[in-house]
A and B are shown apart, each in its own frame.
Chain A
Amino acid sequence: MDLCTPLSHEVLMLRAGDRVTLSGTVFTARDEAHLRMMEKGIPFDPHGAAIYHCGPVIQEKRIIAAGPTTSARMNTLSGFLLEKGVRALVGKGGMSRQVADQLKGRGVYLAFTGGCAALAASRMTLKGVYFEDLGMAEAVWAIELDRLPLVVGIDAAGNDLFEGVNKNAQAQFRRRFQVKKEAPA
């Protein structure tokens, strides 16, 4: 499916494991930007918005490299965005059960291949910036996407592809090493 921001209730139909593309404006945000938005408010219209967990390399207002960062760092920082109408979180590595619950009936988590910064940059145009004082990696950059290829990691029904893979990995580990107790995770 080809998605375009602002996203509507169409995202609720997606299922974990679906491959989609995303076009339209997205907003980058990492740890510091989330903390700033919690304190000072969201500087863009959050309705149907997509947040991209990314700290790009920008040179002379051009996007040089812009792959995803580890979404798990934003596990405890994302609820307020979903409450304000954000429909998609885009990043890598998956998010917590808490976020999967917060996404229920609201939106989806979309996984982009970690490290694919050149591929990402080739499908992006820089539109603007908020909180530039946070520095290049932590600022909120408004970026226009042209069909970024993504996988639905967590759907709006709470199904989590990463959680399934992780449970299987735990089981394989216990079998391989004859561990009785569940390994810490």
Chain B
Amino acid sequence: MIPLPDPSLLSAITHATCEAFRQAEINLPPDVVQALRNAREKETSEIARGELTNILTNLEMAGSLRVPICQDTGVPVIYLTMPPGIPLTTGIYDAIAEGVREATREIPLRPNVVDPLTRENTGDNTGVGMPAIHVRPGDRFTITVLPKGAGAENMSRITMMLPSEREQIHKFVAETMLLAGGRPCPPVILGVGIGSTFDGAAALAKEALLEPIDTMTPYEEQILAAVNTLGIGPMGLGGSTTALAVKVKTGGCHTASLPVAVNVQCWACRRATVEVPY
């Protein structure tokens, strides 16, 4: 018989989920704040500097008032690591969903989750397959949340390139921002998934957004430079910072395939990890 998780573990999961949302929605990670400060230093246009000043002031206000950074508090995207020995039961999924409901009531979050066809709002940010829970291997029991707003998510793209088109990846990423313009709330962070399968590339692109942005590989720097030549700037009002960072994640793929996905993240790159005591 597989032992069911202890009820106190389930309530700890609910609590950790809610706490991770509270941290993510109110305070940006330090690497993102620093990147925004650096961008303000670098910008020469008065309008671009003004937009970044508003963003940095907003971060201070959210922190001191203990309110969400942005009113689009996103849809709940969750990455779970579980130590060996704890069975992955529906009880764990339910406990995470309960944490989302608690966060929605208490922080509070805007109820964003609707049925895709009737558009009926569930009122508590849960729904079929929502929260989106991704389980990853790990030694510790952690809950990482990545609340994803729609303005940037809607500008994301995926393509199945030819294996001979590797040089075109920069162009596809830059074109994604060209099409997006000011709509995804630049300066953005671009998660790029290269390889895997059609769905796997999109998953890699999203996971890339979990990575700290204070370091980039030379390849990521090259793509970033290509994106920033566009001059879209903060909020699409012009400037040298269209993107703060590009993060790439690759996966093995079929010899005849080259899936490439770009997941666009607004400047409010909200992520937080909370450990579940067990």
Contacts and interface: CB of A to CB of B under 8 A. Distances in A.
A168 B185 CA distance: 18
Given A69-B151, A119-B61, A54 B238 contact: no
Contacts, number: 171
Nearest to A174: B178
Contact of A114 (B50, B65, B170, B185): B185
Nearest to B73: A57
A65 to B, nearest CB: 4
B44 to A, nearest CB: 15
Contacts of B268: 115
Given A57-B73, A115-B55, A173-B230, A70 B111 contact: no
A72 B183 CA distance: 8
A65 B235 contact: no
Contact of B70 (A94, A115, A151, A162): A115
A15 to B, nearest CB: 12
Interface in B130-163: 149, 151, 154
Interface in A134-185: 135-137, 149, 151, 153, 161-162, 164-166, 168-170, 172-173, 176-177, 183-185
B108 interface: yes
A173 to B, nearest CB: 5
A118 B181 contact: no
Nearest to A113: B54
Nearest to B114: A135
Contacts of B191: none
Contacts of A166: 181, 232, 236
A172 B6 CA distance: 59
Nearest to A179: B171
Interface string B84-124: 00000000000000000000000011111000000001000
A135 B233 CA distance: 33
B58 interface: yes
B126 to A, nearest CB: 16
Nearest to A19: B50
Say which size band chain B's interface belongs to: 35 or more
Given A67-B71, A115-B185, A119-B54, A165 B151 contact: no
A67 B174 contact: no
Given A70-B183, A137-B112, A65 B237 contact: no
Contact of A64 (B68, B149, B154, B230): B68
B267 A115 contact: yes
B55 A137 contact: no
B274 interface: no
A54 B111 CA distance: 14
Interface string B204-219: 0000000000000000
Contact of A183 (B59, B67, B69, B178): B178
A165 B179 contact: no
Interface in B14-40: none
B54 A149 contact: yes
B61 A122 contact: yes
A168 B235 contact: no
Given A55-B110, A185-B179, A118 B68 contact: yes
A121 B65 CA distance: 10
Nearest to A60: B108
B62 A118 contact: yes
A65 B67 contact: yes
A151 B47 contact: yes
A172 to B, nearest CB: 5
A85 interface: no
Nearest to B106: A59
A177 B229 CA distance: 11
Which of the listed residues B51, B62, B69, B237 has the most CB atoms from chain A within 10 Å of its own CB? B237
Nearest to A18: B47
A185 B70 contact: no
Q: Which 3 residue pairs are nearest across A and B when measured between Cβ atoms?
A: A114-B185, A118-B62, A65-B71
Given A64-B71, A116-B58, A162-B182, 7 more contacts: A69-B72, A93-B183, A117-B62, A117-B70, A119-B58, A149-B54, A169-B230
